[in-house]
Amino acid sequence: MNLLLLYWTLFGFAASMFHYPVLTNQLRQSIKTLVREDNVMAYGVELIIDLYKCDISLFTRKHLRNFLVELCDLIEMQREDLYFWDYEDYPDELKKAPPHLAGTSLVQFITTSNITMHTLDTVQECYINLFTCKPFDETAAINFIVKWFKCPQYEYSRIGRGRVTSCQRP
Protein backbone atom coordinates (compact mmCIF):
# COMPACT_ATOMS: atom_id res chain seq x y z
CA MET A 1 0.00 0.00 0.00
CA ASN A 2 1.29 3.45 -0.87
CA LEU A 3 2.53 5.25 2.28
CA LEU A 4 0.65 8.40 1.37
CA LEU A 5 -2.60 6.47 1.02
CA LEU A 6 -1.90 4.73 4.33
CA TYR A 7 -1.18 8.12 5.94
CA TRP A 8 -4.49 9.46 4.57
CA THR A 9 -6.32 6.39 5.91
CA LEU A 10 -4.72 6.69 9.36
CA PHE A 11 -5.09 10.38 9.94
CA GLY A 12 -8.05 11.24 7.77
CA PHE A 13 -8.93 14.11 5.50
CA ALA A 14 -7.89 16.78 8.03
CA ALA A 15 -4.26 15.72 7.75
CA SER A 16 -4.38 16.08 3.97
CA MET A 17 -5.31 19.75 4.29
CA PHE A 18 -1.63 20.42 4.99
CA HIS A 19 -0.82 19.53 1.37
CA TYR A 20 0.75 16.12 1.98
CA PRO A 21 3.19 16.87 4.78
CA VAL A 22 6.54 15.11 4.69
CA LEU A 23 6.44 11.87 6.66
CA THR A 24 8.88 11.97 9.57
CA ASN A 25 10.92 8.91 10.54
CA GLN A 26 8.80 8.57 13.69
CA LEU A 27 5.59 8.57 11.64
CA ARG A 28 7.07 6.04 9.20
CA GLN A 29 7.94 3.78 12.17
CA SER A 30 4.40 4.17 13.56
CA ILE A 31 2.88 3.19 10.23
CA LYS A 32 5.29 0.25 9.83
CA THR A 33 4.40 -0.94 13.34
CA LEU A 34 0.70 -1.18 12.50
CA VAL A 35 1.06 -3.10 9.23
CA ARG A 36 0.78 -6.87 9.56
CA GLU A 37 2.99 -9.29 7.64
CA ASP A 38 0.19 -9.78 5.11
CA ASN A 39 0.16 -5.97 4.54
CA VAL A 40 -3.24 -5.59 6.22
CA MET A 41 -3.55 -2.71 8.63
CA ALA A 42 -3.51 -4.16 12.16
CA TYR A 43 -5.54 -2.97 15.13
CA GLY A 44 -2.52 -3.44 17.37
CA VAL A 45 0.82 -5.16 17.75
CA GLU A 46 2.09 -7.73 20.21
CA LEU A 47 5.82 -7.83 20.86
CA ILE A 48 6.94 -11.15 22.36
CA ILE A 49 10.40 -11.37 23.93
CA ASP A 50 12.07 -14.41 25.50
CA LEU A 51 15.14 -13.56 27.58
CA TYR A 52 17.78 -16.13 28.55
CA LYS A 53 20.59 -16.12 31.15
CA CYS A 54 19.15 -13.03 32.88
CA ASP A 55 20.49 -11.48 36.06
CA ILE A 56 17.94 -12.95 38.49
CA SER A 57 18.71 -10.31 41.13
CA LEU A 58 16.51 -8.10 38.93
CA PHE A 59 13.48 -10.41 39.33
CA THR A 60 12.31 -8.81 42.59
CA ARG A 61 9.02 -6.92 42.77
CA LYS A 62 10.91 -3.67 43.39
CA HIS A 63 13.13 -4.09 40.31
CA LEU A 64 10.24 -5.26 38.14
CA ARG A 65 8.12 -2.27 39.20
CA ASN A 66 11.01 0.12 38.36
CA PHE A 67 11.54 -1.69 35.05
CA LEU A 68 7.90 -1.16 34.07
CA VAL A 69 7.99 2.53 34.99
CA GLU A 70 11.06 3.12 32.84
CA LEU A 71 9.85 0.95 29.94
CA CYS A 72 6.48 2.69 29.83
CA ASP A 73 8.15 6.10 29.98
CA LEU A 74 10.49 5.12 27.14
CA ILE A 75 7.72 3.91 24.81
CA GLU A 76 5.29 6.61 25.99
CA MET A 77 2.64 4.29 27.43
CA GLN A 78 0.42 5.37 30.33
CA ARG A 79 0.63 2.85 33.19
CA GLU A 80 -2.51 1.79 35.01
CA ASP A 81 -2.99 -1.04 37.55
CA LEU A 82 -0.15 -3.49 38.24
CA TYR A 83 -0.77 -7.00 39.59
CA PHE A 84 1.85 -9.49 40.81
CA TRP A 85 1.49 -13.21 41.31
CA ASP A 86 4.28 -14.98 43.20
CA TYR A 87 4.86 -16.65 46.53
CA GLU A 88 6.76 -13.74 48.07
CA ASP A 89 4.55 -13.51 51.17
CA TYR A 90 3.80 -17.23 51.50
CA PRO A 91 5.43 -19.54 54.05
CA ASP A 92 7.51 -22.28 52.42
CA GLU A 93 4.96 -25.02 53.22
CA LEU A 94 2.26 -23.17 51.20
CA LYS A 95 4.34 -22.54 48.09
CA LYS A 96 2.79 -24.67 45.34
CA ALA A 97 4.99 -24.09 42.30
CA PRO A 98 7.62 -26.74 41.55
CA PRO A 99 11.13 -25.31 42.08
CA HIS A 100 11.86 -25.11 38.35
CA LEU A 101 8.77 -22.87 37.92
CA ALA A 102 9.49 -20.54 40.84
CA GLY A 103 9.32 -16.90 39.82
CA THR A 104 7.03 -13.96 39.42
CA SER A 105 4.17 -13.34 37.03
CA LEU A 106 2.72 -9.89 36.54
CA VAL A 107 0.29 -7.89 34.48
CA GLN A 108 0.87 -4.18 33.96
CA PHE A 109 -2.23 -2.66 32.45
CA ILE A 110 -1.60 0.31 30.17
CA THR A 111 -4.28 2.57 28.74
CA THR A 112 -3.83 0.92 25.34
CA SER A 113 -3.73 -2.71 26.60
CA ASN A 114 -1.16 -4.59 28.74
CA ILE A 115 2.31 -5.90 29.43
CA THR A 116 2.61 -9.40 30.91
CA MET A 117 5.77 -10.94 32.31
CA HIS A 118 6.83 -14.28 33.73
CA THR A 119 10.22 -14.75 35.39
CA LEU A 120 11.76 -18.14 36.13
CA ASP A 121 14.50 -17.82 38.73
CA THR A 122 16.00 -21.32 38.49
CA VAL A 123 16.53 -21.21 34.72
CA GLN A 124 17.30 -17.45 34.63
CA GLU A 125 14.65 -16.71 32.02
CA CYS A 126 12.01 -14.04 31.55
CA TYR A 127 9.11 -13.96 29.07
CA ILE A 128 7.48 -10.65 28.14
CA ASN A 129 4.41 -9.88 26.01
CA LEU A 130 3.67 -6.25 25.19
CA PHE A 131 0.34 -5.75 23.44
CA THR A 132 -0.91 -2.31 22.46
CA CYS A 133 -2.89 -0.55 19.77
CA LYS A 134 -0.65 2.52 20.13
CA PRO A 135 2.43 2.56 17.88
CA PHE A 136 5.77 2.48 19.69
CA ASP A 137 9.47 2.11 18.89
CA GLU A 138 9.92 -1.66 19.04
CA THR A 139 13.69 -1.52 18.58
CA ALA A 140 14.10 0.89 21.50
CA ALA A 141 11.85 -1.33 23.66
CA ILE A 142 13.83 -4.49 22.82
CA ASN A 143 17.18 -2.81 23.43
CA PHE A 144 16.01 -1.41 26.76
CA ILE A 145 14.61 -4.76 27.94
CA VAL A 146 17.74 -6.72 27.00
CA LYS A 147 19.99 -4.17 28.69
CA TRP A 148 17.82 -3.97 31.85
CA PHE A 149 17.88 -7.73 32.49
CA LYS A 150 21.53 -8.07 31.41
CA CYS A 151 20.74 -11.03 29.21
CA PRO A 152 23.26 -12.13 26.58
CA GLN A 153 20.65 -14.20 24.72
CA TYR A 154 17.15 -13.36 23.60
CA GLU A 155 14.57 -14.00 20.90
CA TYR A 156 11.66 -11.87 19.86
CA SER A 157 8.78 -11.82 17.44
CA ARG A 158 5.93 -9.48 16.67
CA ILE A 159 2.38 -10.16 15.67
CA GLY A 160 -0.04 -7.73 14.09
CA ARG A 161 -3.33 -8.29 15.93
CA GLY A 162 -6.74 -7.80 14.35
CA ARG A 163 -7.74 -5.78 11.31
CA VAL A 164 -8.62 -2.11 11.34
CA THR A 165 -11.38 -2.84 8.85
CA SER A 166 -13.10 -5.07 11.43
CA CYS A 167 -13.44 -2.18 13.89
CA GLN A 168 -16.71 -0.28 14.07
CA ARG A 169 -16.15 3.43 13.60
CA PRO A 170 -18.62 6.14 14.65
| Residue 91 falls inside a structural domain | yes
| 50: containing domain | 44-162
Query: Which of the four pLDDT bands, split at 50, 70 and 90, describes residue 148?
Result: very high
Question: Do 61 and 29 share a structural domain?
Answer: no
3-state helix, strand, coil in the chain (%, to 5): 35, 30, 35
Burial (CB < 10 A; 0-12, 13-18, 19+), residue 167, is exposed
Question: Do 82 and 10 share a structural domain?
Answer: no
Amino acid 11: pLDDT? 42
Rg over alpha carbons for the chain, rounded to the nearest Å, is 19
Rounded distance between C-alpha atoms, residue 132 and residue 55, angstroms: 27
Number of domain units in the chain: 2
Q: Which helix (H) or strand (E) holds 111?
A: none
Question: Which comes out higher in pLDDT, residue 4 or 83?
Answer: 83
Note if the pTM is more than 0.85: no
| Residue 167 falls inside a structural domain | no
| Residue 169 falls inside a structural domain | no
Question: Do 26 and 104 share a structural domain?
Answer: no
Question: Do 91 and 125 share a structural domain?
Answer: yes
Question: Do 130 and 55 share a structural domain?
Answer: yes
Amino acid 33: pLDDT? 53
pLDDT in tens, 12-58: 433 333 333 444 454 445 445 555 555 556 678 899 999 999 999 99
Query: Which of the four pLDDT bands, split at 50, 70 and 90, describes residue 119?
Result: very high
Amino acid 100: pLDDT? 74
